[in-house]
Structure 1
Amino acid sequence: MTQQNSVQKHHGAEIELLSFRLGEDEYCVGIMSVREIRGWTRPTPLPHAPPHLRGVINLRGTVLPVVDLSLRLGMDPVGGDARNVIIVVQINGHAVGLLVHAVSDILALESDDLQPPPETAGSDGARFISALAIVDERMVRILNLEAVLPDLTVEAA
């Protein structure tokens, strides 16, 4: 777990997370990496971009790449309608938009409540999850943004 993700395991420390939905599943990112939450804006597609890169939008004069997080994680794509949102995160000094179905909540958890994901041989997707937590009888996955978006600025160029 990294400083960038703002999900650090310091014994007894409180961690704030933004939770959101992708389909029926709930995921989280460290609140310190979130810059803003925007309503749906149709991105301008880029030629030869990877399938999960939906395109770019104008964010107050800055070109912002928008990643369909559902596609990036190997699930069905987010439809892209008025109910969907773009979570703008800061990763390695770059802003990136994450297209998700809906934002759920802000969670405050103790670092002791976080559990490492199980070791799964050959599971490429397991590296995308930095930790798991049980919140009100539901399992939430905490994303490792550096693994999910390793070279996005190179892909968008």
Structure 2
Amino acid sequence: MSTLDHIGRKIIAAIQSDGRITVQELADKVGLSASPCARRVKMMEDEGIIKGYSAVIDQAKVGLPVSAFASIKLEKQREDYLDRFAQAIARWPEVVDCYLMTGQYDYLMRVVVADLAAYERFLKTKLTRLEGVASIETSFALGQTKRSEVLPVE
């Protein structure tokens, strides 16, 4: 893992707030010339610090207004059960976030769907059919207070 210096952190902060920033604009913001700035960005991409670039999409405006948070408990916390679960959910586009957790449940996932009927279909045709799932508890978001992909690097 690379240790980021002050300039590296400034680059990350700028890219996080505007992923479409030009190299020249980025260089001006962080106090470098364009070539060294581009090299540093490329180095951070190669090291996996910068994993990619994407657009932030309004889920309601694309017909997916429902966020369901499912807490999953597996029958056993053995490696093969954990691996099988992770491999299955990686194929399901409805699952947009999933975390292996400590505490009462093994996983917490956010599922994005068009409506309650779509969540029910997801539950019946995918999640409950997955071998090794002992229990599922779902909560539905009433609204979103904050969402961010911006890490507090500075």
**Structure 2 length-normalised TM:** 0.23
Q: Which has the higher strand share?
A: 1
Q: Which has the higher helix share?
A: 2
**Structure 1 length-normalised TM:** 0.22
Structure whose alpha-carbon radius of gyration is higher: 2
